[in-house]
Amino acid sequence: MTVPAPLPGRLADRLITALRHGRALDEAAAGLGVDLRAVWVRARTDTRLAVALAGRDPDALDERGHALRADYLRLLALGLPPSRAELILGTGDPGAWRGDDPAFAAACDAVSAASAPYGSLKPMRLTPERVARFLEELRTPGTTVLAAAAAVGVSDAAIYQRRTRDGEFAKAMDAARAEAKQAM
């Protein structure tokens, strides 16, 4: 069985509009001359369409938060550590979501546990070369510790642990941050 090409963007938008106006999926798809299999293919990567297929308005303000939470869970399911998943999202605050919503926190824990048998990133050691690259990244205006750590392949937890036990490293971090502020 061949998989059809995904629904083109313009047709997806028209289908979403029809669904938002209360039309049944099969009727809306038939009216647009769309094969439902093409809709399913498109919905794999089109969050707006997936939300509309769930019977909700994808343009409603609260749906953005639902979509971000779903994307975060998907990244955890792929075996990414929470810090890297946060970087990929680029918006939202999964840590706050976990604190505000015990069900979401439980879902995160369950998804992370389920993905564990499939392997995860091996932690990278904070070698002198990585320390130098981290500090260089941190000198870039607007770069957070989380982003600089991810850029060199280590967790922000590893950075903060090193900062706590190594006074020279802490001074170097402070100096890099000061340089970044001056460059702004």
Structure confidence by residue, pLDDT tens digits, 14-40: 999 999 999 999 999 999 999 999 999
Give the tens place of pLDDT for each residue, 120-166: 556 668 889 999 999 999 999 999 898 888 888 887 888 999 999 99
- Judge if 37 and 86 occupy the same domain: no
In a domain, 151, yes or no: yes
77 and 110 housed in the same domain: yes
Q: Higher model confidence: residue 168 or residue 155?
A: 168
pLDDT at 121: 54
End-of-domain residue from the set 73, 97, 118:
118
pLDDT at residue 64 is higher than 80 = yes
46 and 72 in a single domain? The answer is: no
What percentage of residues in the chain have a pLDDT greater than 70? Answer: 94
Give how many domains the chain has, as a whole number. 3
Please report how many Cα atoms fall inside a 13 Å half-sphere around the Cα of residue 126, on the Cβ side: 18
- Range in 43-47, 68-72, 84-88, 148-152 the model is least confident about: 84-88
In this structure, are 65 and 91 located in the same domain?
yes
Full residue range of the structural domain in which residue 38 is found: 9-53
Same domain, 100 and 133: no
State residue 149's pLDDT score. Answer: 87
Same domain, 110 and 133: no
164 & 139 share domain = yes
Scan for tokens 């075996």, then name that residue: 79
Burial 41-70, CB ≥16 within 10 A → b, else e: bbbeebbbbbbbbeeeebeeeebeeebbbe
Same domain, 168 and 150: yes
161 domain-assigned = yes
CA distance 85 to 76: 7
Q: Over pLDDT 90: what percentage of the chain? A: 47
Q: Quick one: average pLDDT of 35-47? A: 90
Its pTM stands at 0.62
